[in-house]
Chain A
Amino acid sequence: MPTLAHYLIVSGLLFAIGLGGVLLRRNILIIFMGLELMLNAANLSLVAFSRFNLLADGMPNYNGQVLVFFIITVAAAEVAVGLAIIVALFRAKQTTHVEDLNTLKF
């Protein structure tokens, strides 16, 4: 049987992969995908905590799953707004490479 530590390790690894993608990739769409990976790592640990923390009547603690539901909703809204911003950016600059987007650089 997998234990809570297994789930937390997998979640941490997934978060590290997403963080690495955000830090190392230069394409703004791939950076956005890395953000999604990090959100999913948080979801995984929340669901694991919800399953392993049973209530007194032996049911899983559903508060964690409701929070995951909210995270998924907010992530969907965030993706829609973020992709609209990326499209607007592409219209203005014709690029998705972050090193070409240096207007605000001091």
Chain B
Amino acid sequence: MQLALFSIFSLLMLAFALGVILLRNPVSCAMCLVMSFVALAAVFVTLDAYFIAVVQVLVYAGAVMVLFLFIIMLLDLREEKRRRVRLSAWVGGGIVVGGFLSALTQVISALPSLDVVKPVVSHPMANDVALVGFALFRNFNLPFQIIGVLLLVATVGVVLLSKKELK
């Protein structure tokens, strides 16, 4: 049952991810990316990471993709005109991606210890959000504050970048 759910959602995720890089209309690319993120959230649920799954849907599928769609519509991007594809670029990209995939299969097949079945959590109904919160505010409090400053810096930077004339 778990394996079936995992397979369905990971196949959906990979199919929509392929849609992102294969479709020509930027709006359909963005919608495919939304669906891919939602399917990834479902895969997170099969890993019992409920909080991360909810954050994935809220932040990625919600906020980030709305920003993407706003920009696509603001710039009024149409379907890309078919340009002459550069064969060298495709061959180079294919070689890099293929090399990465072959290295990945070598690494995964060489490690027998990876073939472990998911261990059982001691408290299956454990409060996931509370536990992530404990880890976040006890062990990672300083990085958490720094992340807050980073978000502020990004906000100020975006406001500055969007000004018509930089003075």
- A2-B2, A8-B108, A19-B97 known; A65+B115 contact, CB < 8 A: no
Interface of chain A: mostly helix, strand, loop or mixed? helix
Interface residues on A, range: 35 or more
Residues of B within 8 A of A72 (CB): 55-56, 59-60
A74 near B72 with CB under 8 A, answer: no
Is residue A80 within 8 Å, beta carbon to beta carbon, of the partner chain?
Answer: yes
Interface residues on B, range: 35 or more
A30 near B43 with CB under 8 A, answer: no
B59 near A16 with CB under 8 A, answer: no
Per-position 1/0 for A51-69, Cβ under 8 A of B: 1101001111011011011
- A12-B104, A80-B154 known; A17+B18 contact, CB < 8 A: yes
B42 shortest CB reach to chain A, Å: 11
Per-position 1/0 for B119-140, Cβ under 8 A of A: 1111100100001101110011
Beyond the given pairs A40-B60, A63-B139, A66-B136, 18 more chain A to chain B contacts, judged by CB atoms under 8 angstroms and listed by A's residue number, are A1-B2, A3-B114, A4-B116, A5-B115, A7-B43, A17-B17, A23-B96, A24-B93, A33-B20, A37-B20, A59-B123, A66-B132, A72-B55, A72-B56, A72-B60, A84-B162, A87-B74, A87-B162
Q: Find residues 10-49 in chain A having any chain B CB closer than 8 Å to their own CB.
A: 10, 12-21, 23-27, 29-30, 32-34, 36-37, 40, 43-44, 47-48
Q: Find residues 17-35 in chain B having any chain A CB closer than 8 Å to their own CB.
A: 17-18, 20-21, 26, 29-30, 33
A73 near B151 with CB under 8 A, answer: yes
Closest Cβ neighbor of B76 among chain A residues: A90
B68 near A2 with CB under 8 A, answer: no
Tell me, in angstroms, the Cα distance from A27 to B36 when the chains sit together.
20
B161 near A76 with CB under 8 A, answer: no
A102 shortest CB reach to chain B, Å: 14
Is residue A88 within 8 Å, beta carbon to beta carbon, of the partner chain?
Answer: yes
